[in-house]
Amino acid sequence: MPPAVTLMQTEPAEFAPLLRMSGISKSFPGVKALESVDFAVGAGEIHAFLGENGAGKSTLLKILSGAQAPDTGTISLDGKATVFATPQDAQRAGIVTIYQEFTLAPDMSIAENVFVGRELGSRFFVNHGLMEEETRKISRRIGLDREPSTRVRDLAVAEQQMVEIARALSMKSRIIVMDEPTSALSRSEVEKLFTIVRGLKAEGISTIFVTHRLEEVFEICDRYTVLRDGRNAGAGRVPETSIEGIIRMMVGRDVGLLAHRQGSFTQSEVALEVKGLNRKRKATDASAIELHDVSFKVHKGEILGLAGLVGAGRTESARAIFGADPLDSGEVIVGGTPARIASPSDAIAQGIGLVPEDRKQQALFLGLAIRTNLSMAAHDHISGWGPFISAARETALVEDYRRKLNIRMTSGEQLVGNLSGGNQQKVVLARWLALRPNVLIVDEPTRGIDVGAKVEVHNLLIEMAREGIAVIVISSELPEVLSLADRIVTMREGRVTGNVPGPGATQEQLMTLMTMSAPKAA
Ligand SMILES: Nc1ncnc2c1ncn2[C@@H]1O[C@H](COP(=O)(O)OP(=O)(O)OP(=O)(O)O)[C@@H](O)[C@H]1O
Ligand SMILES: [Mg+2]
């Protein structure tokens, strides 16, 4: 890939960082999250902060933003030692954080969210006009084309993120911390975000950027820091390293980027067929995406890839099959028999599972133990497919998936809410895998998952297919679809536009099918 790297033009001979964190350690019960970590960021620099799931990235950034206190270590800004006891302290010093999970108030307007806690006006009146005017100025700067009075609820995910950025800019920040800002964005939205970040750089504002998509590092970042198991594993200038080099620092060994599967599937009976799914947009719908005559089949033991751009209707099809959204017409045929699926519990009873794309919808119980979250799926066996699971089997289940997915956890008793973002994602996957459905639909299964674990997730999907489960993989990453799928269905604007064998398919071919309007079969 051509590294469109923006080098720091005038780096002083001696790197005098704007921010320096030294010897930062932080422990939680049973976990040493950070051990004597050093971290330095220059002015006007885009700094990639990398590491596997659970390496300690979010923890260090929470310390930087005053949300958590370090056990030991110091922070200096402009060479002056400083302590951030609260997020307000850090904000006053010009450090603004956009967390891994958004923190906007959905029922408030854009302007209210931008100025929340710092409302403009006199002592007794909030001056809405002034706040909206200021918000409009900032919005224009970052290309957010929405009225400041629009409710945040009505914005797309990417726009919500721009509101977070607008809020950061309204605070006169010097360092903007973005914890996995791109994991929920489509490619074109990522490009928009990068334009904004480059603009910030031109104004001398530094960005700390966490991502699991390593190509992005080479596209936009100047320097990088890698953590492994809570310790420094490498740091330097991006043009002086490579993706392989970064992975080696992250994982401590070489890993392949993709699992390979093509060609192993032999034709068998149809596990699931959908025929003529139609869905018109309702006035009450949040989603604007309609479905038009969506039809496809997936066989036992087959991996079907669903490819398309954002808005193609892949997630909507999955939700409709799973009974999460109603259909206007269409048939869902499970194992040769037409099924009546009016709700997710109907779908589960029919042996269909869905791992949704949105982390917040994934119904993890953050305040409960990992083992409870995992075995909850197993408890569904009572009404569905099998016997009650004993405590011993529960322990075995947790241990099995901890090993298979390399979930970084202290024990099955640990609360899911205390896992890192990527490890929470793995628990979600494990929970559905434990259900052993006949048909499993996974929507963006590796979003937010680090490079090493990605291969583990791929291998697990391949193993499930080998055991006879029909797997439908929805993914925005074409290499992922190409390496996994036996057959690929492409969609665009709620319609199926192609249905091709996986082996031999190319990115170019899929892109063409994903962007064309006339249906075509192969
Ligand atoms: N409040 C907490 N209580 C207990 N353990 C915690 C807490 N917060 C984080 N941890 C643990 O600290 C370690 C580092 O987690 P952190 O969230 O910093 O990882 P990360 O690098 O951001 O990972 P990801 O890429 O998955 O987001 C993990 O083992 C996590 O389980
Ligand atoms: Mg994190």
Q: What is the pLDDT of residues 385-438, one digit of tens each?
A: 444 456 777 788 888 888 888 888 888 888 888 888 788 878 888 888 777 789
* Residue with CA at minimum distance from ligand 1 atom 16: 56
The identity of residue 456, as a single letter, is E
Higher-confidence position of 251 and 11: 251
The identity of residue 157, as a single letter, is V
Give the rounded percent of residues in the chain with a pLDDT score beyond 70. 86
Domain ranges of the chain: 275-351+437-515
Q: CB of 56 closer than 6 A to ligand 1?
A: yes
Burial of 302 (0-12, 13-18, 19+ CB in 10 A): buried
Q: Give dist(CA 401, CA 412) in Å, integer.
A: 11
**Residue-wise pLDDT tens digits, 427-476:** 888 888 777 789 999 998 888 788 878 888 888 889 889 889 999 999 98
* Residue with CA at minimum distance from ligand 1 atom 17: 420
Classified as helix, coil or strand, 432 is: helix
> Residue 198 pLDDT > 90, yes or no?
yes
Q: Are 112 and 127 in contact (CB under 8 A)?
A: no
For residue 390, report the distance from its CA to the centre of ligand 1, in Å: 30
* Residue with CA at minimum distance from ligand 1 atom 1: 418
CA distances to 43, 195, 392 from 142, in Å? 20, 8, 55
Q: What mean pLDDT is predicted for residues 381-386?
A: 38
Atom of ligand 1 nearest to the CA of 55: 21
Q: Are 127 and 90 in contact (CB under 8 A)?
A: no
Q: Are 78 and 95 in contact (CB under 8 A)?
A: no
According to DSSP, residue 369 is labeled: B
Q: What mean pLDDT is predicted for residues 222-230?
A: 95
Which two structure tokens, joined as six digits, stand for 167? 């809020």
Residues 99, 102, 108: CA angle, nearest 5 degrees: 135
Higher-confidence position of 96 and 374: 96
CB atoms within 10 A of CB 366: 11
Q: Residue 291 forms beta bridges with which residues?
A: 279
Q: CB of 28 closer than 6 A to ligand 1?
A: yes
According to DSSP, residue 146 is labeled: S
> Residue 201 pLDDT > 50, yes or no?
yes
> Residue 145 pLDDT > 50, yes or no?
yes
Q: Are 270 and 307 in contact (CB under 8 A)?
A: no
Q: CB of 55 closer than 6 A to ligand 1?
A: yes
Amino acid 481: pLDDT = 92
Classified as helix, coil or strand, 136 is: helix
**Residue-wise pLDDT tens digits, 484-493:** 999 999 999 8
State the sign of the Cα–Cα–Cα–Cα dihedral 7, 10, 11, 13.
Answer: positive
384-421 burial, b at 16+ Cβ within 10 Å, e below that, comes to beeeebeeeebeebbeebbebbbbbbeebebebebbbb
Which two structure tokens, joined as six digits, stand for 233? 């594993």
For residue 123, report the distance from its CA to the centre of ligand 2, in Å: 39
* Residue with CA at minimum distance from ligand 1 atom 9: 418
Best substitution site from 21, 25, 27, 28 to test ligand 1's pocket, by max atoms within 8 Å of Cβ?
Answer: 28
Amino acid 501: pLDDT = 93
Give the rounded percent of residues in the chain with a pLDDT score beyond 90. 41
DSSP 247-301: HHHHHSS---SS---TT------EEEEEEEEEEPPPTT-S----EEEEEEEEETT
Q: What mean pLDDT is predicted for residues 114-119?
A: 78
What is the number of residues in the chain? 522
* Residue with CA at minimum distance from ligand 1 atom 6: 418
Q: CB of 452 closer than 6 A to ligand 1?
A: no
Architecture (CATH level 2) of domain 275-351+437-515: 3-Layer(aba) Sandwich (3.40)
Name the phi and psi angles at 445, rounded to 5: -65, -20
For residue 56, report the distance from its CA to the centre of ligand 2, in Å: 7
pLDDT, the chain, mean:
84
Place of tokens 């903007």: 176
Helix (H) or strand (E) segment spanning residue 166: helix 157-170
For residue 59, report the distance from its CA to the centre of ligand 1, in Å: 6
The closest ligand to the CA of 422 turns out to be 1
CB atoms within 10 A of CB 362: 16
Amino acid 294: pLDDT = 96
State the sign of the Cα–Cα–Cα–Cα dihedral 395, 397, 400, 404.
Answer: negative
Q: CB of 58 closer than 6 A to ligand 1?
A: yes
Q: CB of 33 closer than 6 A to ligand 1?
A: yes
Q: Give dist(CA 429, CA 426) in Å, integer.
A: 5
Best substitution site from 26, 31, 37, 213 to test ligand 1's pocket, by max atoms within 8 Å of Cβ?
Answer: 31
Extract the runs of DSSP E, i.e. beta strands, from 316-374: 329-334, 337-339, 352-355
* Residue with CA at minimum distance from ligand 1 atom 28: 54
Amino acid 363: pLDDT = 62
Burial of 136 (0-12, 13-18, 19+ CB in 10 A): middle
Report strand pairing: 270-279 vs 291-299. Answer: antiparallel
pTM above 0.85, yes or no: no
Most confident range (mean pLDDT) of 235-239, 253-257, 348-352 is: 235-239
60-82 burial, b at 16+ Cβ within 10 Å, e below that, comes to bbbbbbbbbebeebebebeeeee
In the chain, what are the helix, strand and coil shares in percent, each to the nearest 5? 35, 25, 40
For residue 339, report the distance from its CA to the centre of ligand 1, in Å: 42
Range with lowest mean pLDDT among 95-99, 270-274, 293-297, 485-489: 95-99
Q: Which of 358, 352, 497 is nearest to 424 (CA)?
A: 358
Q: Give dist(CA 177, CA 193) in Å, integer.
A: 13
Classified as helix, coil or strand, 470 is: strand
